[in-house]
Amino acid sequence: MTEARKETYPTNDKQSGGLSLLLRLFWMTVGNFILFFIAFGIYSGKKGLGLKDGIYWIIVLLLIFTRYIDIKYLDGLTAQGTPASMAHWYRYVAGLILCAGLIWGLAHITNYFFV
C-alpha cells in the first residue's frame, strides 16, 4: 500500500490563535462582503457623495490594516496556506485599492446614469 505524502507547513502559537483566525476571516471574506453591500447601497442610493462613501473607504483601510497585522505580527498565511511576506501585503494593497476604486466608481457612474 502506498502512503500519501502531505505538505505541511510549520505553525506556531501566533497562527493557531483565535485572533489570527478572525483577522483572516475578515480580510478574506467578511470585509469584502461588506464592501459589496455598501457599493450596492451607493448604487441604489442618492446621487453624490455621502456617508456610505466614507464607510466604504474606512472598510478598505480596515482591510489593509487587518492584513498588515496578520502578516507582520501573527505570521499570516496566504489564501493557499503558505507563509505570507510583506511582498504579499504590497500586492494585496495594490489590488484592493485598484478593485475597490473601480467598483466604487462604477457604483457612482451607474447610479448617476441609470438610477
What distance in Å separates the CA atoms of residue 59 and residue 37, rounded to the nearest whole number? 12
CB 31 within 8 A of CB 62: yes
Please name the residue that has the C-alpha cell 507547513: 9
- Best mean pLDDT range from 6-15, 19-28, 71-80, 101-110: 101-110
Q: Distance between alpha carbon 68 and the CA centroid of its chain, in Å? A: 11
Tell me the whole-structure pTM to 2 decimals. Answer: 0.84
CB 31 within 8 A of CB 63: yes
Q: Which pLDDT tens digit goes with each residue over 56-105?
A: 999 999 999 999 999 999 999 988 889 999 999 999 999 999 999 999 99
Nearest residue to 53 (alpha-carbon basis) of 110, 104, 114, 113? 104
What distance in Å separates the CA atoms of residue 78 and residue 30, rounded to the nearest whole number? 16
> If residue 65 lies in a helix (H) or strand (E), which one and from where to where?
helix 51-72
Cell numbers linked to 33:
462582503
- The pLDDT of residue 54 is above 60: yes
